[in-house]
Structure 1
Amino acid sequence: MQNNKKVGILLANLGTPEAPTAPAVKRFLGEFLHDKRVVDLTRWVWCPVLHGIILPIRSPKVAKLYQSIWMDDGSPLLVYSKRQQEKLANALSLPVELGMTYGEPSLNTGVQALLAQGVERIIVLPLYPQYSATTTAAVFDGLAKVCKTMPVVPELVFINHYHDHPGYIKALADKVRSSWQQNGQGEKLVCSYHGIPKRYADNGDIYPQHCIQTTELLRQELGLEADQIMMTYQSQFGKEEWLQPYTDKTLASLPEQGVRRVDIISPAFSVDCLETLEELKVENRHIFEQAGGTDFHYVECLNDSDLHIEMMKALIEANQ
């Protein structure tokens, strides 16, 4: 039966500070690290540590890192997300809005903008290819909070992963091939995914399985042998054990194993951001070169590439 309700799209991502300043970063990190999906520690234990130690110390340091990647139009994550929004709206001829789990534009801002355009059915696309309770489920929680006081809740369609979508794998492979054409092919392709505490996976989060599947599908698409590609996890925080192997330690060990030319891509990120442009492209390059590596090529995220928009369009149409 055909659905005649007006459809709109909500692209959801994690979010970004409004400015590369310590106060703005502190507000953003405070909201982000307060979410129990992100840090599940008991509040009376976590909150004093967060507000008394972590935010005062980390905010100025992180602000300096943001300053090093900030674009003329703002935070890279928001700049690329807006480009995705515009291109997807043109491709679909449907209303498309952005909503961030933390910061602005918020999930509520995005939903209200769609409702103001007469949308009755919202297709929610969290831009996390691999499902994780720390990211995808946090979007769902945020939407539930937005809808909690609504007299009429719009019809919602929630897409909770696309880690194995053919269009996504094709778009990743295209980025890698473009890098190879420009820079030559390294001895290893390192797929670096954002990490989560190992305990979360032990308790049922399916994120690592999705990462493994993405890496294998990308290997097949590129025609690589098993020893030409590997996956690692980045962005560890705190002293708890996270998913391994760690990206930084792996890159530090590769030259002594005879691997001096690597390409690195981060399939878990739909747009370039602090974790890719600064942590991967700068910090991890330095680690690799200090260990004896000679060629380090960062493969940019899918961002607003044509193949990425085509994949999003196909994903939306399949759920329309």
Structure 2
Amino acid sequence: MPSPQVEQEPSDCERPALASSDHPPVARARVGVVLANLGTPDATDYWSMRRYLSEFLSDKRVVDYPSWKWQPLLQLVILSRRPFKSGEAYRSIWNSEKNESPLLTITREQTRKMAEALEARHGDRVRVDFCMRYGNPSTDSVLRRLQAEGCERILFFPLYPQYASPTTATANDHAFRTLMRLKWQPAIRTVPAYFEHPAYLEALANSVREAYDAAETPPEVLVASYHGVPKRFLTEGDPYHCQCQKTTRLLRERLGWEESAIQTAFQSQFGPEAWVGPPTVDHVAELARQGRKHIAVISPAFASDCVETLEEINEEIRESFLAAGGERFTYIPCLNDRDDHIAALLTIVENELAGWL
């Protein structure tokens, strides 16, 4: 007689250790890694942009004015006009082939490469995914999916080299909000700022060397342009401004350049209050008026190219420099999915996973 058929458990499931024989199989215990980026609208039309901007600009970490004062202005005035302008900016850089923003395309590719690298080292013990603080895929949906796949421990990695309240902190806040709603919380770790990490600095320096080597004539100055924050954030304890200044210095030292060869500026200012500076758009124009004919601009605070780099820097800030008498403008792309960047992120992830694998 043929031997009886034994029902096979799903390969992705197993009975918990020391469980009784009739305990149903559950998802195998794993470790999750989540790469968290800023966010993206789903499309460039008015209502898609309005939903995205409303979520973004309603975040108290981004705009911390009292709601009674800010929300009427935001909902009735700003969001009646700004979605048109922002939609136009996004359309100028939109990935029409995939019908998505470049930030989404790049973050997905970063995640794919990270997943392949971790699988090669640890097999299927690690799940890698990505989420957006604003828009989709949402932080909540990704954390819940990883938990359902058996991730009892999750490393949450905000892709911001420098810590800032409106970026790193709000990404972590949102992850913790999901945990607040879960009956069974996974253990979670967050990755700290990594602007000083040697592998990150080397990848950044490599991108500069490659851009300068490819130029017919080397730029006369490199402008490191960081996203701006209100000046009061500095006095309130946010370390972002200091970490940006230090990033520029560490990059210069790694390149072996003189102090005058690289300068720091801040972009994307809005609202009436004072912001850290100088403003990039004004600073590059001043460089042109000083007789600098060829400059390069890099964005060390962004792990992935997005509207703030591809449109604001490579279009608006470029135009400001050329209109003031500059002749050549070189934009150095973000590190994106460069192999040395992925290797740097992988080194950071492996360090933060110590004791979990």
Matched, 1:280 2:313: yes
AA matched with 1:144: F
Listed one character per residue, the Cα deviations across residues 248-298 of structure 1 (whole Å, up to 9, x for unaligned) are 110111122121210100000110000000000011111000000011000
Match of residue 32 from structure 2: 8
Indicate conservation of the 8 Å contact 2:225/2:265, yes or no.
Answer: yes
How far is 1:318 from its partner? 0.4
Once residues 127 and 218 of structure 2 are traced to their aligned partners in structure 1, the CA distance between those partners, rounded to angstroms, is 40
Matched, 1:204 2:216: no
Q: Which runs of 4+ in 1 moved over 4 A?
A: none
How far is 1:113 from its partner? 2.1
Indicate conservation of the 8 Å contact 2:139/2:175, yes or no.
Answer: yes
Match of residue 23 from structure 1: 47
AA matched with 1:168: Y
How far is 1:5 from its partner? 5.8
Consecutive unaligned residues of structure 2, counting only runs of 5 or more, are 1-27, 120-125
Matched, 1:91 2:124: no
AA matched with 1:204: G
Match of residue 123 from structure 1: 155
Match of residue 58 from structure 2: 34
Matched, 1:290 2:287: no
Q: Say which SS state the counterpart of residue 217 (structure 1) adopts.
A: helix
Matched, 1:264 2:264: no
Structure 2 counterpart of 1:239, from 272, 297, 301:
272
Matched, 1:188 2:252: no
Indicate conservation of the 8 Å contact 2:30/2:127, yes or no.
Answer: no
Once residues 116 and 220 of structure 1 are traced to their aligned partners in structure 2, the CA distance between those partners, rounded to angstroms, is 46
Indicate conservation of the 8 Å contact 1:262/1:297, yes or no.
Answer: yes
Indicate conservation of the 8 Å contact 1:97/1:113, yes or no.
Answer: no
Match of residue 68 from structure 1: 92
- Correspondences of 1:78-227 after superposition (within 5 Å): 78-93=104-119, 94-183=126-215, 184-227=217-260
Listed one character per residue, the Cα deviations across residues 206-260 of structure 1 (whole Å, up to 9, x for unaligned) are 0011101111110011111000000000000112111111101101111221212
Q: Say which SS state the counterpart of residue 166 (structure 2) adopts.
A: coil
Could you tell me the TM-score, scaled by structure 2's length?
0.87
AA matched with 2:331: Y
AA matched with 2:179: C
Listed one character per residue, the Cα deviations across residues 50-90 of structure 1 (whole Å, up to 9, x for unaligned) are 00111111001110110110012210000000000000000
For the pair shown, which has the larger CA radius of gyration, 1 or 2? Answer: 2
Identity %: 44
How far is 1:136 from its partner? 0.5
Indicate conservation of the 8 Å contact 1:8/1:121, yes or no.
Answer: yes
